[in-house]
Amino acid sequence: MISIDKISAYDGQEVRFGAWLFNKRSSGKIQFLQLRDGTGFIQGVMVKAEVTEAAWEAAKSLTQESSLYVTGTVRKDDRAPGGYELTVTDVDPIQIADEYPITKKEHGVEFLMDHRHLWLRQPRQNAIMKIRSQIIFAVHQFFHQEGFYKIDPPILTPTSAEGTTNLFHTKYFDEDAYLSQSGQLYMEAAAMAMGKVYSFGPTFRAEKSKTRRHLIEFWMIEPEMAFCTHEENLEVQERFVEFVVQSVLQNCRAELEVLERDISKLEQVKAPFPRITYDEAIERLHEKGFDIPWGEDFGAPHETAISEDYDRPVFITHYPTKIKAFYMQPDSERPEVVKCADLIAPEGYGEIIGGSERITDPELMLERMKAEKLDLVAYQWYQDLRQYGSVPHSGFGLGLERTISWICGIDHVREAIPFPRLLNRLYP
């Protein structure tokens, strides 16, 4: 099958392929057909004097987003956006599209979101989805080459991993169940079985907050490593994020250009990444005029203020124990903080990774679960991991859509996923 992205292989040849009419201009004697097939965009030029009457009329009948088979000769043209143009000799309409709702004029976001199934066809959205696809591929490439096994945790779960405030409840026959907030607890079991593992799946949080960074359904990559310390965990994270960014830079130049992304900002994303402690971050925030007491969690403005001091992602480590999840390993010298890190993206994109070393000691784990009032019966299997050959281990979770937003330079996560689920949106 011939596709626009591979059209250079057909220079000088006559080709026929399926496409949609993205846009059309006509001078009376020449019709300029902007064609797209998902893989790319190309301009087709039809000259009235050189084609049959039927072909000319067929081209004239095409409305925006009509589908067709087009026949023409591929010509190299340095002025054309993709470097090639098509001298069209015939068009064969498949369906003449109704009046298309998305036009060249500015549309409001809610309108575009209502038409997300069509909005995806626009060049910007197309570019974002291609970068998303490249990132997904790079994630698998990275963990495969680092010797990790891909493990799939369940999506329907009887318990929560990240607290109960944003759980998505559902019935599981006669029992209660929740959509997975994180595969982590299962990935810990998998790490004890397989050593180094990662998951990559949808996660769900009934977030009541309506922000640029929150989706109800998002995708998370969660590696978990046996015998891995906090420090080693950070090294995997910075290598991983560098790999993903560099992979996009190498493979998605054209898409980054469509998005008008400042590539120099991405080129700086090289390991090692700076590390500061929560204590240092608090001090820094005070210097910058924030009035945040020690012990409080950071919000978006705090993360942005910290990230401003760096040209690449920055780790904030050792958060207060009381604001982090029950499974995190307290620092042996200072049990009021845990061996954890959030990775904050540059340019104000906020937290893209949350990770930590996990508690090894069975007694301490039990104590923490009791303090958090967790149902010990429901978590017995998790406690078993500490009772049968417990080892130091660490892992993290990278949010796919936040990472895409940052790399693409877009200002809301809703454009980083094909069909976003938001507080006010379950359609389309």
Q: Which is nearer to ligand 4AD, 215 or 305 (CB)?
A: 215
User: Which of 397, 396, 390 lies closest to 226, judged by CA?
Assistant: 390
Q: Please work out the total of residues on this chain that contact ligand 4AD, with binding judged by CB under 6 A.
A: 23
Q: Which residue from 402, 406, 407, 408 is in contact with ligand 4AD, where contact means CB under 6 A? A: 402
Residue 215 binding ligand 4AD, by CB under 6 A: yes
Q: Which of residues 40-99 bind ligand 4AD (CB under 6 A)?
A: none
Helix (H, G, I), strand (E, B) or coil at 113: helix
Contact yes or no for 213/304 (Cβ under 8 A): no
CB closer to ligand 4AD, 130 vs 402: 402
Q: How far is CA 85 from CA 143, 278, 359, in A?
A: 40, 56, 61
DSSP structural state of residue 337: B
Three-state DSSP class for residue 371: helix
Of residues 21 and 226, the one with the C-beta less far from ligand 4AD = 226
From ligand 4AD, Mg ion, none, interface partner of 5 (C-beta below 5 to 8 A by class):
none
Q: Is 207 in the site for ligand 4AD (CB under 6 A)?
A: yes
Closest approach of Cβ 162 to Mg ion, in Å? 8
Which residue type, as a one-letter code, is found at position 384? D
Q: Binders of ligand 4AD among 355-394, rule CB under 6 A? A: 355
* 245 binds ligand 4AD, rule: CB under 6 A: no
Per CB under 6 A, the segment of 17-25, 91-99, 249-257, 352-360 that binds ligand 4AD is 352-360
Q: Could you say which residues in the range 152-181 bind ligand 4AD, by CB under 6 A? A: 161-162
Instruction: Report the Cα–Cα distance between both ends of the chain, in Å, rounded.
Output: 31
State the Cα–Cα distance between residues 2 and 18, nearest whole angstrom.
Answer: 8
313 belongs to the binding site for ligand 4AD (CB under 6 A): no
| String marking each residue 328-357 x if it binds Mg ion according to CB under 5 A | --------------------------x---
Long-range (24+ apart) CB contacts under 8 A made by 337-341 are: 337/277, 337/278, 339/230, 340/230, 341/230, 341/233, 341/234, 341/237, 341/275, 341/315, 341/316, 341/317, 341/396
What is the token pair recorded at 276?
């500061």
Helix axes 123-145, 400-408, angle to 10 degrees: 120
CA distance 348 to 263: 16
Strand partners, 351: 344
Choose the one of Mg ion, ligand 4AD, none that binds residue 397, judging by a C-beta under 5 to 8 angstroms depending on kind.
Answer: ligand 4AD
Q: Which is nearer to ligand 4AD, 77 or 232 (CB)?
A: 232
Q: CB under 6 A: which stretch of 80-88, 114-122, 255-263, 395-403 binds ligand 4AD? A: 395-403
401 forms part of the interface with ligand 4AD (CB under 6 A): yes
Which one of 40-48, 72-80, 214-222, 291-299 is the stretch in contact with ligand 4AD (CB under 6 A)? 214-222
Q: How many residues does the chain have?
A: 428
Q: Tell me which stretch binds ligand 4AD (CB under 6 A): 50-58, 67-75, 301-309, 397-405.
A: 397-405
In terms of Cα–Cα distance, which of 13, 394, 352, 379 is closest to 188? 394
Binding site for Mg ion (CB under 5 A): 354
Residues that bind ligand 4AD (CB under 6 A): 161-162, 182, 184, 205, 207, 214-215, 218, 220, 222, 351-355, 395-397, 399, 401-402, 413
